[in-house]
Structure 1
Amino acid sequence: MANKIADGVENRNLAAHGAFFIDDKTDGIRVAHYFPRGKGNDRRWFEYQEAISERAIRVALEEIDQLLREAVEIRSVLESKRRVGANPP
């Protein structure tokens, strides 16, 4: 799960926090967001702006939903184990 989170973090960040707007020229959906690159004094921000399809938005939201479901399942397993450990037979 950690690899899934790391691999798609920018796409999910864009889907969750990007500024979506309609391009007046094309009547299509566009998204804009700023992302950091580098660390410390070398850290720079860059703007990402491009057209995005409704399908790409749906895929990102489905991925986020799946990660949330996996996290809830992991939490349930851990809570169950904790309850069993607190009440040994």
Structure 2
Amino acid sequence: MHRITQRLCGDGVIGLAPSTKKGCLRYDIRKDDHDHFVCSDCDGLMDIKIADEMRKQIAHEISDCYIDGPLVVTGVCKKCQKRRK
């Protein structure tokens, strides 16, 4: 199964998502441009889209560097927030 998944990734049929905390690969079926949210508690992954204006603001904050790929936002998901209470 893993060889098939690697081949699909190499052929561009699927992409890579941010790795898990333990460094395990995660694959992404979505091929459109999008960003990710990763929960720092449960390591859950969520597809998100950061608005162009926000990307420009982030680029400005890092000395007007050009952002040319997906962004990864980390935080605590709603489920883990409830668990913390």
Both structures adopt the same fold (TM-score exceeding 0.5): no
The TM-score with structure 1 as length reference comes to 0.25
- Structure having the higher helix fraction is 1
The structure with more radius of gyration: 1
Q: Which has the higher contact order (CA 8 A, sep 6+)?
A: 2
